[in-house]
Structure 1
């Protein structure tokens, strides 16, 4: 009993020492990518701030497409294409894949935690479709049609940048935008500098709030020298320790019951012990005698070497096929055939058919007698 109490104390000590896990937060939308990690977080009510995200880093899932969405207060919703948590960069794009149109309408990141190291001035021009085709300029597909083409120049100063098309083109608007990824197709890149989790991500840790009452962040669950985070170690200890503890308790209980049963048996009277374990008489079957074996019929095969039954062309004892003019012997009780010399040797040592195990006539059962007194004395402990 003391041992069980001690083992239970160890179990509950391990359980209480398990570190408290961080609040569970959603990590992705229906599409699965990109993965959402701190400082970003998913907020079902659409609020940009929440306990799973740093202020200003709230994301949501689109009701139409299920894609991950970032809402810029002055510019609207943008689809999140990729997040680099180590470099602290996020790539966003227009849900309809017409980012130039969003730039012409409004693109403002004021009031957000995002910025950009690279800014460019772009001037949009409306030109004749035929003139643009002759010069080889690439129009913006989502802003152009058969009658006119919209092109862009990154000088933002004059029409000289579009190869002398001043007579057929007029400026629409000049905008200042962050670094654009792959010519408007895949989106624009934004950076963030606070909170700074880059060093924690580099060390493969878990960056999150230190507590629920402040915005102070910390780096948790850093891998140890053997490459396993502390939480993983606790999981392994508990995962292995609980089954092991249960097995140990079961083993202790089993050994204890065996010891108690052995103690009770030693205290039993001799007469009661002798009566309770007196063995039953054993019956031993011997082989058949020679005359009995010779009384079984013999059969000599013809030229085909086969018996009337299609499957009886192999001796079950030696597993060799029957040959023409060989002598076989059958057992009358079951009508099974064998080589005569094979079955004769078998029946001298065994009083049963090798196939069906039936015992033919002529066997001599022997029942050894064991006196109750001798068996009792032989089984008593010395």
Structure 2
């Protein structure tokens, strides 16, 4: 009988402990959400993680982002052998309730840069200082879904690069568009998506070193696709500069382990940078910049049109290893109602002229 009573008491104690642990976790998590400072949010969310609150696992890593991430801001790391550098972390919109004001401001500045409202010169300068490219290196900008977005986003940066880094080559005009495509952020699975190529290079990149500039590093697929295009043209990507890297949440084991071992010394070691994290930069553009005017849409027109039977063949030419080659071919029927099939039997034009 005494043994039975002891077992019942142990079960009651365990049940009460679990109940109050859950209540304590909810209280700490609620306190973390409304904490006025980052330090309080970090401490409350840490205790909520230890109390077993799942939601706190999405708050605590954000408060110690530099400790939780694989890569550190403004420190060069390699992504598939390409040296990369970024300014700070970008958090998806679902993380907004848990961000500090500084983190919110930085994320908004990244979005403003994508929309052409911020020039992004600060992260360009920081990236160049870290990567230290050789004189003659071509700085190219990641092609966007449309030509208008591309020039709106990068032309101010290209002006600054042209003025302040004469030893480098600005490659904003190296990219020629052949139309629009769907934006990458509209795709459900970025890792497996195959986007239609809507650009080619106007200039020859044979034996040239290239640095790529882009907004956000997430999966790295866009960088690798662009690298393949540069290498096919004879160039070599020697670095990449990003405004931000998308923050990836660590797993539950990491959260519990580091919440258990966290100390104030860690807080000081991985404190946020003292520098301003916005993308603004105290730079006044010239009244007339060399890259102020974006190309007209007429640049999308083919370089050559050939009539062949019931077929109109449009050809676009670009440079590949010092020679002009056909980089895009479009086959269209002259008479859509005709039963005569279209023919693109012009293989000699696919190689070179």
TM > 0.5: no
Question: Which of these two proteins has the greater Rg computed from alpha carbons?
Answer: 1
Report 1 or 2 for greater relative contact order, CA contacts < 8 Å, sequence distance ≥ 6: 2
Structure with the higher helix share, 1 or 2: 2
Instruction: Give the alignment's TM-score, normalised by structure 2.
Output: 0.22
